[in-house]
Amino acid sequence: MATENEKIVAEFCATWKRMNVDEMVGYFTDDAVYHNIPMAPLKGKSEIRKGLHQFAGMMKAIEIKILNSAAAGNLVINERIDTIVMPDGKRTDLPVAGVFELRGGKICAWRDYFDTKMTGMG
């Protein structure tokens, strides 16, 4: 049975399908850190909002499918497939491991680990 924190993370991942950055940012604490490894971390809601707008602007659509999830205390780790559709219609199924830390029902830290070669960044 999923923990409350796992449910929050799953709900957050589902928001990506709608590409509504304001909705996504609502899941974060004011002092949250979002780190797509190996890029520079985004610190605070303002930087996270800017980064999410950039990511959303680079793709036509995205759907996140959580394959496995585990939780311990305030930590949630998930294994996912992020299906990204680029503006030209090209689709990429990107395997991702995500690590989320929560505080008071909000995400205070989020780290994603993936192969940058699959994204064209590496």
Look at residue 35 and tell me if it is in a domain: yes
Look at residue 58 and tell me if it is in a domain: yes
pLDDT value at position 119? 58
Q: How many domains does the chain have?
A: 1
Look at residue 119 and tell me if it is in a domain: no
What is the spatial distance between Cα 52 and Cα 58, in angstroms, rounded to a whole number?
A: 10
What is the spatial distance between Cα 122 and Cα 108, in angstroms, rounded to a whole number?
A: 27
- The residue range of the domain holding 62 is 4-114
pLDDT value at position 55? 87
Q: How many residues does the chain have?
A: 122
Residue 27 structure tokens: 């899941």
pLDDT, tens only, 4-48: 999 999 999 999 999 999 999 999 999 999 999 878 999 999 999
By the 10 Å C-beta count (0-12 exposed, 13-18 middle, 19+ buried), 115 is classed as exposed
pLDDT value at position 93? 94
What is the spatial distance between Cα 78 and Cα 50, in angstroms, rounded to a whole number?
A: 24
CATH number reported for the structural domain that contains residue 15 in this entry:
3.10.450.50
Look at residue 120 and tell me if it is in a domain: no
What is the spatial distance between Cα 80 and Cα 63, in angstroms, rounded to a whole number?
A: 10
Q: 47 and 110 in contact (C-beta within 8 Å)? A: no
Determine which of 16-25, 55-64, 79-88, 109-118 has the lowest per-residue pLDDT on average: 109-118
More confident residue, 50 or 1: 50
pLDDT, tens only, 69-95: 999 999 999 999 999 999 999 999 999
Phi-psi region of 35 (alpha: psi -120 to 50; beta: other; left: phi over 0): beta
- Has residue 122 got a pLDDT over 50? no
Place of tokens 């759907």: 63
Q: What is the CA radius of gyration of the chain?
A: 14
Look at residue 80 and tell me if it is in a domain: yes
